[in-house]
Chains A and B, each alone.
Chain A
Amino acid sequence: MHAIKRLATGKNLSLLLALVAFLIPFFLEIPGLSEAGHRLLSIFLLAVILWVSEAIPLFATSASVILLLVLFLSDVAGQLSWAWGMAAFPEGMTAPAYTTFFNTLASKVLILFLGGFFLAFGAARFGVDKNLAAIMLKPFGTKPSRVLLGLMLITGVLSMWMSNTATTATIMAVVLPIIATLAPDDKFRVGLALGVPFAANIGGMGTPIGTPPNAIVLGALSKIDPATGETIGQCSFLQWMIFAIPIALLLMAFAWVLIVFMFPASKKAIEIDMNVKWAKSTHATIYYVTAIFTILMWVTGALHGINSYVVGMFPVVILLSTGVVSAKQFRGLEWDVLWLVAGGIALGVGVSATGFDTWLVGLIAWDSMSRVVIGIAICGTALLMSTFISNSAATNLLAPIAVAVAGAAGASAIIILAFVALGASMAMALPISTPPNAIAYSAGTFTTKQMVLTGTLIGAAGVLICFLLLRPLLHIAGVS
C-alpha cells in the first residue's frame, strides 16, 4: 500500500502522463499532418508535460527531446528497420541528419551565453557585483524611495549581464540587513523585498545574455528560410539592447512608482553600509580588462564586424588560458542552463523540419487577424505560461510556434519572438514564477497576495508597453 502511494506521487504521475501523451499520436490519424509531424507532436507533448511538471529536471527534458528527435526523426530512424523506421515526411522535405540535433548543443547562442557565464563568474568571484552596487548606490542618498530606485536600477543593470537569480541573491544579501533595521510594521520592508526580484526579472530583458529566453529566441531566429536561403531574421547584441532597454527601463519605472505608492516608508532615512574593496590580484586585473573588452566588443559589433557570438568566445579563451577560471571552476559553470536552451532550439529545428509548424498554424485563419492582436496574444501567452512554469521552458515551447505564426501572418519573425522573450520575462506574479521571486519570498517579509497584486500589475503594464513601443523600437534599432 505504501509503495503504491509512493509511486503515485506527482512526479511519477507526470512521467506516466508524459509517456501516454507521447504514445497517443502513434495511434491517431490527424488529417493534414504528416507521419513525421505525428512523431514531432509526440515529442512536443512529452516536452510540454515534462517542462511544465518538472518531473525530471528541465535540462534532462532537453536532453530527452534531443535524443528522441534523433531516434524518431533524423536519418538514424531510417536505419532502424527492426523498429519504428523512417517516417514519411511532407513533400519536398527529408529527415535531417542526426548531427543537426546534436549540433544544437554547440549552437552559437550557447557560445554567447557561455561567454556571459565567464563574465558573471568573475564578477562574483572578485566581488565586482557588490562593488558596483556600492558605488552606484551612493548617489541615491538616504531617502527610502531613492534608495529603492537605486537598488532596483543596480539590480537591473547587473542582471543584464548576470543571471537574474544570482543577481537577486547578491542584492537581497545587501537588502536583508536594511530590512532588519526597519520597524516590523513598516510597509517599506515589503517594498524593498519586492523591488529587487522585480528589477532582476525586468533587467534580464536588457541584453541577449540577460536571461535564457533571450538566447532561445535568438536561436530560433537563426532558422534558415527555405525560400531565400537566409536566416529568418538578424539581431545584433547592440540592436537587442536598443529595443529592449527602453522597454525594461519604462517597466522598471512603473514598478518603482507602484511599489513606492503601495508600500511607503515610515522611516525618513535609510543608511546602507557597503564598502568598496576592489580585488587587486593579477587574476582580478586580467578579469577586469577582459570584461570591459568583451562588453565593448559586444556593443560595437557594427564597427569591427566580429559578431557577438564570436565575441562570446573571447572571455572563454582569455580567462581559461590565463588560469583565472580553473579547471574545477570551469566544470562548475551552469552547463545545465546551456543544455536547457539547446533542447528548445532542437525542438524548434524539429518543428520546422517536419512541417509541423505549417500544419499547426494552418488550423487558424491568421489573415483575418491583425498582427497587433497576434503580437499581444503571443506576448500574453508567454506571460501566462511563464507565470506558472520556468521562463526558459515556456520560451522553449513557444518560440517554434511563434516562428511559424510569424510566417503565416506575414509578420517579421523578430517582432513575434521578441514578444515571446519579453513576455516570459514579465511573469512575476507568484513566488514560483521565477527563481528571483522565490528567493525574495524566502526572506519572509511579504505575502503571496502582495506579490500577486504588484506582479500582475507589472505584467499587464509590460504587455501594454510592448504593444505600444516594440514595433517603433525595433524600427529604430534597424532590426529586420
Chain B
Amino acid sequence: MNQIAILSIEDEPEVREAIRRDLRPFEKQFRIEVSEDISDAREAIAQIEQDGDRIGLVLADHRLPGETGVDFLTKLHADGSHYPVRKVLLTGQADQQDTIRAINEGGLHHYIAKPWEPETLVTIVRDELTEYVLRSEDIDAMPYVAILDGPRLLEKISHGSRID
C-alpha cells in the first residue's frame, strides 16, 4: 500500500505499550511496527519492504538482549539503501561512548532520554517524519499535510510542479 512505517524497538513490555499509546496520533497515516529486539526488528523491516512499504523512522532503545540499538543504527546507516531513514534513540542507558558512536557512525538524528513526556515524543516523531517526507523526492507530501508539519510540507508542494 506504499505506507511509511515507524519502527520502534523496545524490550520491556510496559514501555512498549507506552510507546504504542504515544504513537497513536500517527496510526491513521503510518504503519507502526513494535519489535522486541534487533532480530525481530530486522524481520519487521523485511516484511515492511516485502509489502511495498518503506521504513521512515526508527525509534530504538539502546540496551537490548543481544545486539544493541546503537549497533543496529550503525549498520542501518552503513546500508545505503536506507539512506533517508530518520533515526532516534529512546533510551536511558546509553553511555557517552555509545551516544558518540550513534551520532558519528549511526547518523543519529535525535536522542530522547527516558522517561519522556508524551508530547515531546509526538513532536519529535512529527518533526522527524516531516523531515523524511521532505527529503524523499518520490513521496507526495500532500497526504501528510494534516498530520505532520503542514506549513513545511506546503513549502515542498509549492516548489513541486503540479499543473493547474
Give chain A's interface residues, CB within 8 Å of chain B.
58-59, 124, 163-170, 172-174, 176-177, 204, 211-213, 334, 336-337, 340, 390-392, 434-436, 438-439, 442-445
B142 within 8 A of A: yes
Nearest B residue to A333 via CB reads B161
A124 touches B159 (CB 8 A): yes
Task: Quote the shortest CB–CB distance from A85 to chain B (angstroms).
Answer: 36
B150: A residues at CB distance < 8 A: 172-173, 176, 443
B161 touches A337 (CB 8 A): yes
Known: A169-B157, A170-B158. A443 touches B145 (CB 8 A): yes
Q: How far is the CA of A417 from the CA of B59 in the complex (A)?
A: 57
A337 touches B163 (CB 8 A): yes
With beta carbons under 8 angstroms apart, the residue of A173, A177, A212 that contacts B164 is A212
Task: Quote the shortest CB–CB distance from B48 to chain A (angstroms).
Answer: 19
A444: B residues at CB distance < 8 A: 145-147
Task: Quote the shortest CB–CB distance from B23 to chain A (angstroms).
Answer: 19
8 further contact pairs, Cβ within 8 A, besides A170-B158, A334-B163:
A59-B163, A165-B157, A169-B154, A173-B152, A173-B155, A435-B164, A443-B150, A444-B147
B157 touches A434 (CB 8 A): no
Give chain B's interface residues, CB within 8 Å of chain A.
142-147, 150-152, 154-155, 157-159, 161-164
Nearest B residue to A174 via CB reads B151
Q: How far is the CA of A168 from the CA of B154 in the complex (A)?
A: 9
Task: Quote the shortest CB–CB distance from A217 to chain B (angstroms).
Answer: 14
A58 touches B154 (CB 8 A): no
A173 touches B154 (CB 8 A): yes
Task: Quote the shortest CB–CB distance from A51 to chain B (angstroms).
Answer: 11
A177 touches B163 (CB 8 A): no
Most chain B beta-carbon contacts within 10 A, residue among A166, A168, A211, A392: A166
CB-based closest 7 A-B pairs:
A169-B158, A444-B146, A173-B151, A435-B162, A334-B161, A442-B145, A173-B154
Nearest B residue to A58 via CB reads B163
Task: Quote the shortest CB–CB distance from B29 to chain A (angstroms).
Answer: 10
B159: A residues at CB distance < 8 A: 124, 166
A391 touches B154 (CB 8 A): no
Can you name 25 A-B residue pairings with CB atoms under 8 Å?
A: A124-B159, A163-B161, A163-B164, A165-B163, A165-B164, A168-B158, A170-B158, A172-B154, A173-B150, A173-B152, A173-B154, A173-B158, A174-B151, A176-B150, A390-B163, A391-B164, A392-B163, A436-B164, A439-B145, A439-B157, A442-B145, A442-B146, A443-B145, A444-B146, A444-B147
Q: How far is the CA of A336 from the CA of B161 in the complex (A)?
A: 8
B161: A residues at CB distance < 8 A: 163, 165, 334, 336-337
B154: A residues at CB distance < 8 A: 169-170, 172-173, 176, 439
Q: How far is the CA of A249 from the CA of B42 in the complex (A)?
A: 59
A438 touches B142 (CB 8 A): yes
Nearest A residue to B143 via CB reads A442
Q: How far is the CA of A14 from the CA of B155 in the complex (A)?
A: 33
Task: Quote the shortest CB–CB distance from A216 to chain B (angstroms).
Answer: 11
Task: Quote the shortest CB–CB distance from B147 to chain A (angstroms).
Answer: 8
A445: B residues at CB distance < 8 A: 146
Q: How far is the CA of A444 from the CA of B151 in the complex (A)?
A: 13
Q: How far is the CA of A391 from the CA of B155 in the complex (A)?
A: 23
B144: A residues at CB distance < 8 A: 442
Q: How far is the CA of A163 from the CA of B164 in the complex (A)?
A: 7
B151 touches A177 (CB 8 A): yes
Q: How far is the CA of A177 from the CA of B158 in the complex (A)?
A: 17
Q: How far is the CA of A164 from the CA of B161 in the complex (A)?
A: 11
A439: B residues at CB distance < 8 A: 142, 145, 154, 157
With beta carbons under 8 angstroms apart, the residue of B147, B155, B163, B164 that contacts A169 is B155
Nearest B residue to A59 via CB reads B163
Nearest A residue to B155 via CB reads A173
B146 touches A443 (CB 8 A): yes
Task: Quote the shortest CB–CB distance from A265 to chain B (angstroms).
Answer: 20
Q: How far is the CA of A349 from the CA of B164 in the complex (A)?
A: 23
Nearest A residue to B145 via CB reads A442
A164 touches B164 (CB 8 A): yes
With beta carbons under 8 angstroms apart, the residue of A124, A211, A438, A442 that contacts B158 is A124
